[in-house]
Copies of this chain bind each other. A is one copy, B any other.
Amino acid sequence: MEYLSVNHALRCVLESVKKQPEIETVRLEQALGRVLAEEVYANRDQPPYDVSAMDGYALRSADLSCIPVTLTIVEDIKAGDMPTKCIQAGQCARIMTGAPVPQGADAVLRVEDTQSAGEDLVQINTPVNAGNDIRRLGENMRDGELVLRAGTEITPGVVGILATAKCARLQVTRRPRVAILSTGDELEDMDDPVDPNKIPNSNSYALMAQVQALGIEPTLLGIARDDPAELAEYLQRGLHFDVLLVSGGSSVGLHDHVRPTLENLGVNMLFWRVAMKPGHPLAFGTTARTAVFGLPGNPVSSMVCFAEFVAPALRQMMGHTHLHRRTISARLTHDVKHKPGRTEFIRVNLAQDEHGYSATSTGTQSSGVSLSMARAEGLLVVSSASNGLPAGEQVAVQLLDGTAFQNEIGFRA
């Protein structure tokens, strides 16, 4: 089998996995990060009437044609009150943010632009236009209006809208169930005593955390040893999940039993080699029920393959439309060597100055150096056709987990 390009392999994965058809009901307190599976309509006009956008005075803008002018305060109106008086020429009402604008008034002037002129009198020094600082009835939403479509990702702002529509419970797409299996005689499990000749099973946990970062709690199946019967038993268990991640054993080596065993279990293997670095021994197959990823045993390769293929697949299954890690443009601080053939993902750190982002390799790109994956802020993507990149080139960098925040404020206040 030929090596598939990254794009081709990704297309194959995304065409194979479908949005979860099942929906479930969650409380609003559990909704963050989920994808809405119902349409949400406004149950009221909001605001329910014209309201003040400021603490100040509701007045007739025509009264301010000659300023300064002194107006008589006829009423105090706070949010939750209903006005009892109609504002006549020369009058105004003291009004709080969110309170209804009384009849007769056509503008609000904020308190900072006024001066007290004795009891129940206020001096106005600034003219305003009709409509100033008034929020119109239904400006935010009209009763019966569709406010959130099915398929909307539930961010904090969306939670606010759901609360406004009083959705204490709501329907969301069910999350895929994910199982993680590591394979190999050389692996030492978390509870085993330290044996310096063995390799700690870090992949199960790094994959667990990558899945958790997407809002899914995966099931760790443990370690299957290099025994075909044991491997088949573990894999069979994994095929009861929506997604099975198998770490190691998917290469073309003599002892790599994962692919043939999966095929024996009825998995239709769609590819097992991708032209990428790190990470090329990446396998993918499906049953009617389960999408199976055979990930490289190498920790860095495993994490990169997860970021590029598994995460978009899981996000698509969850109902998200934004599937890929955010990319930014950054200026390379050094030359990058590359021979055409494979798409390369280089671990980089980022810096920001007035010209934007710059990207610097974390150092050795040996896929054995998992520390550099833990320390990297992004993955610089080198196109498979590239003959290398010169210092100063603008390149695409995918932001990694933990980079939603930065250490500088990033703007001039």
Contact = CB atoms under 8 A, between A and B. Distances in A.
Interface in A281-337: 297-299, 303, 315, 320-329
B406 A383 contact: no
A85 interface: no
A321 B407 contact: yes
Contacts of A198: 48, 80
Interface stretch (A64-72, A117-125, A156-164, A234-242): A156-164
Interface string A343-370: 1000000001000100000001011111
A297 B52 CA distance: 13
A208 B160 CA distance: 9
B206 A160 contact: yes
Tallying the copies of this chain within the complex gives: 2
B405 A324 contact: yes
Given A190-B163, A253-B96, A157 B29 contact: no
Interface string A143-164: 1000110000111111111111
Nearest to A299: B160
Interface string A72-84: 0000101110100
B161 A406 contact: no
Nearest to A396: B411
Contacts of A186: 78-80, 98-99
Nearest to A275: B413
B160 A405 contact: no
A213 to B, nearest CB: 6
A140 interface: yes
Contact of A203 (B160, B210, B324, B396): B160
Interface in A150-181: 153-166, 168
Interface hub of A6, A205, A381 (most chain B Cβ within 10 A): A205
A384 interface: yes
Contacts of A374: 148, 155, 157-158, 160-161
A343 B35 CA distance: 33
Interface in A169-228: 184-187, 190-191, 194, 196-210, 212-213, 226
Can you list the 3 inter-chain pairs with the closest CB atoms, starting with the nearest? Answer: A327-B410, A160-B206, A80-B186
9 contacts: A10-B413, A45-B196, A46-B199, A78-B226, A78-B254, A96-B254, A140-B369, A164-B202, A322-B407
